[in-house]
Amino acid sequence: MKKSSRRQARLAVDIGGTFTDLFLIDSRGRQFGKKVLSTPEDYSRAVAEGTATLLGETDVRPEEIGEVLHGTTVVTNTCIERTGAKVGLITTRGFRDVLEIGRGRMPRLYDLTWIKPPPLVPRYLRLEVKERVNRHGQVEEPLDRTEVEDAILYLLREKVESIAVSLYNAPLNPIHENQIGETIRSLGPTVYLSLSTQVMPLLKEYERTCETVVNAYVMPVVAAYMLRLKDRLRNLRIQAPLFIMQSNGGMITAEESAQRPVEIVECGPAGGVVGAAYLAKSLGIDNLITLDLGGTTCKASIVEEGRYTRSSEYEVGAGIHMSSRLRKGNGYVLRVPSIDIAEIGAGGGSIVWVDSGGLLHVGPRSAGASPGPACYGRGGEAPCLTDCYLVLGYLNPNHLLGGDFRLDPDRAHEALQKIGRRLDMDPEEVAYGAYRIANSNMTRAITAVSSERGRDPRKFTLLVFGGAGALHVAQVAQGLGIRKAIVAPYAGVFSAFGFACADIERNRLRGFIHSWDETAIPHVEALFSEMIEEMVALSEEHTEGKGRIRIERFIDLRYRQQASELTIPVPPGKLSPAIQAKMRQAFDREHQKTFGHHFTDGFVEMASVRIVGRTPMAKPILRGLEDGRTKQDHPNETRRAYFGKEYGFIQTPVVGTKGLKGKPVRGPVLIDKYDTTIVVPPGWSVSSSGGGSLLLTLSGTPSGNK
């Protein structure tokens, strides 16, 4: 495959529920951003249309693009909307109903209306075969080939598009899964195939089966999407290799992602956190709380000591989720490394509504790109947060996306007036009430990744991005006791920018349960050697050639008989008793940090080994967008903006970023940029920070006229 080059242009595209964001770096290092409405009926269309428009606005030729970096919501939407493939499952006799049984856990103990999500494979398509591998990896009962062929032929007659295979103890000896896979390829060569030992080679029958089924469920959808996207890019004369962001914050080739689509579920939110870590390093900040607020959802995460936190498990298909560790049981389990993100339904497109008891709510339902908020004038009648921003005076109706997208204040006012009649409130009161509710919801998302993890948010700096993030930044920070907040450069396209900050990354693991003592050393070294050899070969085959890959090793440790593990890095060099002792100490510290306790004399065992292969990619220089559409300074321009009952409506100065080069500007003030608007309320000040970012500081001395 063609190698990446710093002299080639790079195009990054992030698909959101409302907007599709594009970030382009040309061969001279200039940076351009573009936002277009997403096209849910075929997301690749928005990518192509946005790319064509962006290239038309610059002097970059399609042939100059050397890499396309992409994040998509296709996998998430497929699971939420249940629009995936018709899947068949082949499993060991006695394990047909493992998907139904699950973990026997209710996510909401006292919610009598809760309905368990149905398995992605109906029972009549879940077939059992005779076979058995024991806990030592030895075959106790050979595979019945005739029974296997009958099962496959039955599934083919039922016209399944994809088959998942998950056998008991298969990670200890994959011989039977491999035999079934060969038979499927022989009898149904056009059927998509997912083997559990290739998707998640760990024990834990439910988790392994669930992840394998999800992989099979979305494989045909992702493969079709990748083909459409590549065709559209080729029609634009873009022949560059396509890389896809993964949930873990690393890039992977489109071909690999089509085989393992479970690894790209949370790719969009991951891009923003990767960009945040890159920005934090540039600004010399170790600890950040990130808040990504777009058109549909709000995502929060943490960068601690310069690194983003990761989770080894999360759920998909449950819609909005609070956290990977909270409220389990709503969706389908994936044991895939991912950046730890808390997500709620709060964005510019979140619908404002009143329940039967007369209480005002915001989200989680969203108007998305179509029909969108009422002020979009695209047929939407329900009021959304964007309508609230407009009524409160925060947004310039003629400046969204540099004037490319006009908003209708009358439609926004009319939509909120309908809510106001039910509550006996003015539209402005409804708008500000919804705005405050949204702030509270965002605070909940942040506490899920901070205080509920034992971190004090007051010791962190808040970094916001996404098109709507800067409209809430000061209020959310103040609610958490945070006195400093940063609005990221390229805020409205920051997740796409984050794609350009990522490296190629591949994760592989093997299940191996053994006591954590000297007897484990030869087995672990042999496993690492085999896995590293496979990783290097994969790297040479798919991407960047020989010699650039960096390997990191990890071992999952736990106290004996525990059900959860902690991933501990392995220091460089061969494993030895001394290194084992250091890792044991690191495990105790991490256990104390994560769970609030540890056992100094507790017996520790290992559950699996992991390796991560990283190949560096070119990184952007923080310099801001090359865009003349951002509002320049007009000293006498003001906008009537509402800041609550204490201040009411204030004639608020509107400035551009050039007016912030000197001393801090005290609020209230509004800053219009191409991709976002920054609201600086009374009591806060704003100044220019490094790399095109803006720093907001709580001053405690409000100014301005009511």
> What does the pLDDT read at residue 705?
39
Name the least confident of 90-99, 112-121, 458-467: 112-121
Residues in the chain: 706
Q: Is the confidence at residue 381, as pLDDT, over 50?
A: yes
What is the structure's pLDDT at 656?
A: 79
pLDDT bracket for residue 4 (50, 70, 90) = very low
Radius of gyration of the chain (CA): 26
Per-residue model confidence (pLDDT) at position 273: 95
Identify the bridge partners of residue 67 per DSSP, sorted by sequence position: 10
Whether 171 and 197 have beta carbons less than 8 Å apart is answered as yes
**Does the structure show a pLDDT above 50 at 703?**
no
Quick check: 365 pLDDT over 90? no
Predicted local confidence at residue 661, as pLDDT: 72
Percent of the chain with pLDDT over 90: 64
- In the chain, CATH 3.30.420.40 sits at 9-78+223-264
pLDDT of residue 229: 96
The mean per-residue pLDDT over the stretch 319-325 comes to 46
Q: Give 3's pLDDT tier (boundaries 50, 70, 90).
A: very low
Mean pLDDT of the chain: 89
User: Over 70: is that where the pLDDT of 624 sits?
Assistant: no
**Percentage of residues in the chain with pLDDT exceeding 70?**
93
Q: CA 606, CA 267: separation in Å to the nearest integer?
A: 29
Instruction: Judge whether residue 219 has pLDDT over 70.
Output: yes
For the stretch 259-272, pLDDT in tens is 999 999 888 889 99
Alpha-carbon distance of 444 to 296, in angstroms, equals 16
Q: What pLDDT was estimated at residue 706?
A: 42
φ, ψ of residue 173 in degrees (nearest 5): -165, 105
Class of domain 504-615 as given by CATH: alpha beta
* Cα-based torsion angle of the residue sequence 596, 600, 605, 610 in order, rounded to the nearest 10 degrees: 60
According to CATH, where is 3.30.1490 located in the chain? 504-615
pLDDT at 677 over 90: yes
pLDDT of residue 445: 87
Q: Is pLDDT above 70 for 701? A: no
Across 210-236, average pLDDT: 96
Residue with tokens 């951003």: 33
Phi, psi (degrees; rounded to nearest 5) at 160? -70, 145
Of the candidate ranges 201-215, 421-435, 522-536, 593-607, the one whose mean pLDDT is the lowest: 593-607
- Are the beta carbons of 501 and 619 closer than 8 angstroms? yes
**Lowest-confidence pick of 101-115, 127-141, 547-561, 618-632:** 618-632
Residue 364 has pLDDT above 90, yes or no: no
**CA atoms of 45 and 63, how far apart (whole Å):** 20
Architecture of domain 9-78+223-264: 2-Layer Sandwich (3.30)
Give the fold, CATH level 3, of 83-222: Rossmann fold (3.40.50)
- Residue 556 contacts residue 516 (beta carbons within 8 Å): no
Q: Distances from the Cα of 161 to the Cαs of 83, 164, 193, 198, 604, in angstroms? A: 13, 10, 9, 19, 44
- Top-ranked range on mean pLDDT: pick from 213-227, 555-569, 681-695: 213-227
Lowest mean pLDDT among 199-203, 343-347, 463-467: 343-347
User: Does residue 384 sit in helix, strand or coil?
Assistant: strand
**Nearest partner of 201 among 512, 617, 577, 524, judged by Cα:** 512
Beta bridge partners of residue 24, listed in sequence order: 11, 32
Distance CA 92, CA 95 (A): 6
613 and 550 Cβ atoms separated by less than 8 Å: yes
Could you give the C-alpha distances from 8 to 47, 61, 338, 471, in angstroms and in order? 20, 11, 30, 35
The pLDDT value recorded for residue 18 is: 82
Q: What letter does residue 137 receive in the DSSP assignment?
A: S
The pLDDT of residue 651 is above 80: yes
For 485-509, the pLDDT digits (tens) are: 999 998 999 999 999 999 999 999 9
Q: What would the pLDDT profile of 30-50 be if each residue is shown by its tens digit?
A: 999 999 999 988 999 999 999
Q: Which amino acid is at 333?
A: V
pLDDT for 465 beyond 80: yes
Q: Is 293 helix (H, G, I), strand (E, B) or coil?
A: strand
Identify the residue whose tokens are 């409302």: 18
At 253 the pLDDT is: 93
Residue 538, pLDDT score:
85
Q: State how far the Cα of 34 lies from the Cα of 23, in Å rounded to an integer.
A: 7
Residue intervals in the chain for CATH 3.40.50: 83-222
Over residues 305-321, the pLDDT tens digits come to: 888 888 888 888 765 54
Q: How confident is the model at residue 626 (pLDDT cuts 50, 70, 90)?
A: low
